[in-house]
Structure 1
Amino acid sequence: MKFMKTAATSVAAIALLASGAVAETTKLRIQTHHAPETTAGKLYSGLFDNIQEMSNGEIEIEAFFSSSVVKSVETFDAAATGILDCDATGGAYQTGKNPAFQFVGDIMGGYATPTQQLSWLYYGGGLEAAQDLYNQYDMQLVGWMVYGQESFASTRPIASIADLKDWKFRSPPGMETKIFEKLGASPVVMDFTEIFTALETGIIDGADASNIATNKGLGLYDIAKFANYPGFHSMPSDHLACNKAVWDAMPEQHRSIMEGAMADAALKAALFVEKQNTEAVAALAAEGVTINTWSDEDLQAFRDVAQATWPEFATTPEAKALVASHIAYLSQLGLVKE
Structure 2
Amino acid sequence: MRRRKLIKKAALGAVGSATAGSVVQTQTANQTADRTANQTADQTTSPNSTAKIAATQPAIEWRMATSWPEGQGITFRSAVDFCDRVAAMTDGQFIITPYASGAIAPALEVFEAVRSGEVECGHTSSLYYIDKNPALVFGTTVPFGLTPYQQYAWFYYGGGEAAMTKLHDPFDVVVFPAGSAGIQMGSWTNKEVETVADLAGLKMRITGFGAKVMQRLGVETVALAGDQIYAALEAGTVDAAEWQSPQTDEQLKLYEVAQYCYYPGWWEPGSTYKLVINQAQWQQLPKAYQSILRSAAAAANLTTLADFDAASGEALQRLVDRGVKLKPYSIEIMEAAQRTTFELLEESARTDPTFKALYDQWRQFRRQIFQWNQINELSFEQFSLQSQSASL
Q: TM-score, normalised by structure 1?
A: 0.79
- Coordinate RMSD, CA, aligned: 3.1
1:95 to 106, 114, 130: 130
Gaps of 5+ in 1: 1-11
* Alignment pair present for 1:134 and 2:130: no
Question: Are residues 255 and 26 of structure 1, via their aligned partners in 2, closer, same or farther at CA, if it must alter by over 3 Å?
Answer: farther
1:332 to 368, 372, 384: 368
* Alignment pair present for 1:66 and 2:101: yes
Question: Are residues 163 and 50 of structure 1, via their aligned partners in 2, closer, same or farther at CA, if it must alter by over 3 Å?
Answer: farther
Say which structure, 1 or 2, has more relative contact order (CA 8 Å, 6+ apart). Answer: 2
Q: Tell me the distance in 1 between the aligned counterparts of 2:125 and 2:166.
A: 16
| Contact 1:36 1:45 (8 Å CA) reproduced | no
* Cα offset, 1:140, TM superposition: 1.3
- Matched with 1:23 is 56
Q: For residues 171-213 of structure 1, give each alpha carbon's deviation from its aligned partner in whole angstroms, at most 9, with x where no partner exists.
A: 3356334312444x53342545664455446665422233333
* Cα offset, 1:236, TM superposition: 3.5
In the TM superposition, what are the counterparts of 1:215-254 in structure 2 within 5 Å? 215-234=249-268, 235-254=270-289
Number of positions where the alignment pairs a residue of Structure 1 with one of Structure 2:
314
In the TM superposition, what are the counterparts of 1:249-264 in structure 2 within 5 Å? 249-264=284-299
* Alignment pair present for 1:178 and 2:212: yes
Letter of the aligned partner of 2:202 in structure 1?
K
Question: Are residues 165 and 295 of structure 1, via their aligned partners in 2, closer, same or farther at CA, if it must alter by over 3 Å?
Answer: closer
- Matched with 2:4 is none
Q: For residues 85-129 of structure 1, give each alpha carbon's deviation from its aligned partner in whole angstroms, at most 9, with x where no partner exists.
A: 222223233323222223324422312x32222222112211110
More helix by share: 2
The residue matched to 1:143 in structure 2 has which SS? strand
- Matched with 2:42 is none
Question: Are residues 191 and 258 of structure 1, via their aligned partners in 2, closer, same or farther at CA, if it must alter by over 3 Å?
Answer: closer
The residue matched to 1:37 in structure 2 has which SS? coil
The residue matched to 2:313 in structure 1 has which SS? helix
| Contact 1:228 1:293 (8 Å CA) reproduced | yes
- Matched with 1:122 is 156
1:146 to 180, 197, 214: 180
2:220 to 180, 187, 211: 187
The residue matched to 1:56 in structure 2 has which SS? coil
Q: Percent identity?
A: 26
Letter of the aligned partner of 2:220 in structure 1?
P
| Contact 1:26 1:250 (8 Å CA) reproduced | no
Gaps of 5+ in 2: 1-47, 372-392
| Contact 1:98 1:316 (8 Å CA) reproduced | no
Question: Are residues 213 and 63 of structure 1, via their aligned partners in 2, closer, same or farther at CA, if it must alter by over 3 Å?
Answer: closer
* Alignment pair present for 1:80 and 2:115: yes
- Matched with 2:246 is 212
Q: Tell me the distance in 2 between the aligned counterparts of 1:201 and 1:77.
A: 30
